[in-house]
A = this chain, B = another copy of it.
Amino acid sequence: MSKIRLFNAKILTMKDREAADGEIWIDGKKITYVGAPKNTDISFDREIDCAGDLLMPGLKNAHTHTAMTFGRSLADSASLDDWLHKHIFPIEAKLNEDNIYWFSQLGYAEYLANGVTACFDMYLKPDAQAKSAVDAGFRHVFCGAVNDFGGMDTLEDEYNRFNNYDELVSYQLGFHAEYTTSEGIMKQISEISHKYEAPVFAHVSETKREVDGCIDRYGMSPVKVFDKLGLYDFGGGGFHCVWFDDEDLDIYQKRGLSAAFNCCSNLKLASGAARVDRFITRGVNIAVGTDGAASNNALNMFREMFLLSTLPNLYVDGGAFVDPYEILKAGTVGGARMMGLDDCDILAEGKQADIIRIDMKHPVMRPVNNTVANIVYSGHPGIVKMTMIAGNILYENGEYSTIDLDKVIDTTDKMMDSLR
């Protein structure tokens, strides 16, 4: 438990859109001071001169499949259905616990280099995943991954176990999607949700084909099916949210649900383009995710934020011109809210010290006409100089403190030989 002082910084707390000169003190996992430069006789273990760099809350990756780094650039140029059935499922059938552990280490390394301090992850073999997260010092929120092929019998146990596993790990109820999950299983998940008064999350309306299929099966869209089955009675939300109609939006607004968008993956798999402007207008909580590296092919929240902000301009006559501050809020505060990380959302006293440092001397950040617009429209992972989670500096100037990147690369390279 160390005491750290980050001084001589610009601070964007994400309570408001203006960055201000100041400093941050950290004691153990938490922030003890955020504000103007201040004298103190506290003895810090480390004092870091930020030299005018920006400190802000870490980015929250609100939908991902971390271990899917194995599939990066392995099967491109395919639509979601083909990609999943012809390319991904056959490899997933071979994955063991070791694979999940090491490919997740690679994913956590990329998150840290990219300024991501938490992820909302849906995937396989949660024990190996949780160990990998804790070893990396990464904040990992599981989303249940139930579908017709498995997961229902262990969902409640996982929910209880991983919500009492480690401070860095938590678990939300969830299932894959309507098109992979029978009504009977969805009803069982709804029952568990009611028992624990817990929110439920799933992929929803990612492709037009999915929505059309659901209408064939149920006579209504996936959002309406989930709502009717009581899956949204205690909140929750969806991943992708590309093909929402007005009634779907009404349900998300009325129920206080959250929508996580994954623009790069949607573009690459030819699924469509989400319309974040329609969610913002209704005040729906929005969040940003990368999806897995197998479909994206990066875990780059900056590229996601640029796209989420600008893609609606293709569909609104004269331009939608989404406010970039709404998008940066989605990438930080909105994601934290969706994932149940209420103590990791903004920079404030008593909050978890999940902080990133942005290089304000990088040419792409100059001149400073508008800091928030610079991050959303100009930013890329190369501007991240430091990533801290729960008071631990896990990434600094290209070096990792918890991840042995050379070993991760060697190990995952060898594993690929047997997976390809």
Residues of chain A whose beta carbon lies under 8 Å from any beta carbon of chain B: 69-74, 76-79, 106-107, 109-110, 113-114, 264, 267-270, 272-273, 293, 296-300, 302-303, 306-307, 310-311, 313-314, 316, 318-321, 323-324, 361-364, 366-370, 373-374, 377-384, 405-406, 408-409, 412-413, 416, 420
Contacts and interface: CB of A to CB of B under 8 A. Distances in A.
Given A268-B310, A363-B405, A364-B110, A377 B319 contact: no
Contacts of A323: 77
Given A321-B270, A380-B298, A73 B316 contact: no
B306 A306 contact: no
B314 A272 contact: yes
A367 B264 contact: no
A76 B323 CA distance: 9
Contact of A364 (B272, B300, B320, B420): B300
Given A113-B363, A264-B306, A76 B370 contact: yes
Contacts of A114: 364
A401 to B, nearest CB: 15
A106 B363 contact: yes
Given A79-B318, A110-B363, 10 more contacts: A74-B370, A77-B323, A78-B321, A113-B364, A270-B313, A293-B378, A300-B380, A302-B380, A368-B413, A369-B416
Contacts of A380: 298, 300, 302-303, 380-382
A217 B320 CA distance: 29
B377 A69 contact: no
A368 B420 CA distance: 11
Contacts of A300: 364, 378, 380
Contacts of A307: 267, 307
Contacts of A384: 382
A377 B321 contact: no
Given A78-B321, A270-B319, A369-B73, A377 B420 contact: no
When A and B form their complex, which 7 residue pairs have the shortest distance between CB atoms, in order from nearest? Answer: A382-B382, A270-B319, A73-B373, A77-B321, A270-B313, A110-B363, A73-B370
Contacts of A72: 366-367, 369, 374, 378
B377 A106 contact: no
B273 A314 contact: yes
A300 B364 CA distance: 9
B299 A364 contact: yes
A76 B370 CA distance: 10
B73 A106 contact: no
Given A300-B380, A303-B303, A319-B79, A369 B293 contact: no
A8 B392 CA distance: 36
Contacts of A267: 307, 310-311, 313-314
A50 to B, nearest CB: 16
B270 A377 contact: no
Instruction: Point out which of A72, A300, A311, A413 has the most chain B C-beta atoms below 10 A from its C-beta.
Output: A72
Nearest to A271: B313
Instruction: Point out which of A264, A324, A367, A383 has the most chain B C-beta atoms below 10 A from its C-beta.
Output: A367
